[in-house]
Amino acid sequence: MTFPTQQASIAWTFHPHNATLDLCFFGNFISPSGWVGWGINPTSAEMTGTRALIAFPDPNSGQLVLLPYILDPTVKLQKSPLLSRPLDIHLISSSATLYGGKMATIHNGATVQIYATLKLEPNKTKIHHVWNRGLYVQGYSPTIHPTTSNDLSSIVTFDVLSGSAATQHNNIDILKLVHGIINALSWGILLPMGAVTARYLRHIQALGPTWFYVHSGIQLSGFTLGTVGFAIGIRLGKMSPGVTYGLHRKLGFAAFCLGALQTLALLFRPKTTHKFRKYWKSYHHFVGYACVVLGVVNVFQGFEVMGEGRSYAKLGYCLCLSTLIGVCIALEVNSWVIFCRKSKEEKMRREGLISGSDKGSGIHSGIHGLN
């Protein structure tokens, strides 16, 4: 079976008569002084609690060694170095070799084969496999592995008797796709569009209060859709224990809270004649623009988390966002032109050069006097 990340794979033979599992894991080094590890988690599909076999070059001799480790919570939090200790599972035998024979050297891209024979518990053939690789080993203590999306999702559960993989990871991939599409549309497109309508349509007198209903409709639609995407993200976090995207998660919570504050602000919107109206407007503008900026930034962060940093999906989103920014620039220039023109007309009107009825006509009031 080929694993979904790191070009790793595994081959195995299960002996049902005595519940013995013979297996060989194939992994690749990413550094001459790095490590490659494989293990099983007896309780759940996560890194914490994994019983691992880790191969790396011996600091003294340079030869390949294979040592057992238990990944407890202190290792995940990096409170203490990872130290080798006997495993509390029934490991009958284990060994490791480099692909290419005993004379092969450890280098970037070198393939290592980890062999193990395990005695499984009766009628428990579904196993959580965990694997990873790192850049350095300090003494006999492997250091933390990279934290890209691929490195954080190197977990697969399958039945060694039937060979069928668990469907949870397929469900996770589908939820990730739905989560990304919904959030890109809501936080990354609809909410910025709502801000644009409020800034530029409100000055068009012919629309009257229509601009407000358009603005509110777009923002409420975007926030409702964004809430669905946010809920899916929370669900994904619960389905992926041990996998944490700190920055993406924090930005998501911040954007959602600001969006909720904006929605609640509609319930406490003072009348135009109220003395607190100007303070409410300042609050509404600040929170709204902050929510839009955080939402767009987190959409790009989401592309990186999903490993789509150079994908056509990100390119398509960039084109949509660029179009929206281009429209904003054009409307902003047009607004300034109109503002400057009105300011000039107002100044001429105050100086008596034009009358109130000659809005923009350029006819001097002195001519009317002659008539």
pLDDT tens for 117-165 read: 999 887 888 889 999 999 999 888 998 888 777 777 888 888 888 776 5
What's the whole-number mean pLDDT along residues 323-329?
A: 91
Q: Is residue 4 part of a domain?
A: no
Q: Is residue 371 part of a domain?
A: no
pLDDT at 367: 36
Annotated binding residue at 248?
yes
**pLDDT, mean over the chain:** 83
Indicate if 181 and 316 belong to the same structural domain: yes
Q: Is residue 302 part of a domain?
A: yes
Indicate if 92 and 197 belong to the same structural domain: no
229 contacts 302 by C-beta, under 8 angstroms: no
Indicate if 181 and 152 belong to the same structural domain: no
The helix/strand count (H/E) of the chain reads as 9, 11
Of the three residues 159, 192, 220, the one that is the final residue of a domain is 159
pLDDT at 112: 92
Q: How many CA atoms lie within 13 A of 235 on its CB side?
A: 15
pLDDT tens for 69-95 read: 998 877 766 677 888 888 888 899 999
Lowest mean pLDDT among 129-143, 235-249, 280-294: 235-249
Indicate if 316 and 227 belong to the same structural domain: yes
Give the Cα-Cα-Cα angle 268, 271, 274 (nearest 5 degrees).
100
CA distance 35 to 66: 10
Indicate if 153 and 18 belong to the same structural domain: yes
Q: Is residue 96 part of a domain?
A: yes
Q: Is residue 68 part of a domain?
A: yes
Annotated binding residue at 128?
no
Distance between start and end Cα atoms, the chain: 97
117 contacts 8 by C-beta, under 8 angstroms: no
Contacts of 202 (CB under 8 A, 6+ apart): 211, 212, 215
Annotated binding residue at 179?
yes
pLDDT at 371 over 60: no
Domain hosting 99: range is 9-159
CATH classification at residue 77: 2.60.40
Q: Is residue 1 part of a domain?
A: no
Give the count of domains, the chain: 2
CATH classification at residue 284: 1.20.120.1770
CA distance 170 to 165: 9
Annotated binding residue at 364?
no
Note if the pTM is more than 0.85. Answer: no
pLDDT at 361 over 50: no
- Predicted confidence band at 68 (pLDDT cuts at 50, 70, 90)? very high
Indicate if 28 and 55 belong to the same structural domain: yes
Lowest mean pLDDT among 163-172, 190-199, 217-226, 288-297: 163-172
- Predicted confidence band at 362 (pLDDT cuts at 50, 70, 90)? very low
Indicate if 124 and 215 belong to the same structural domain: no
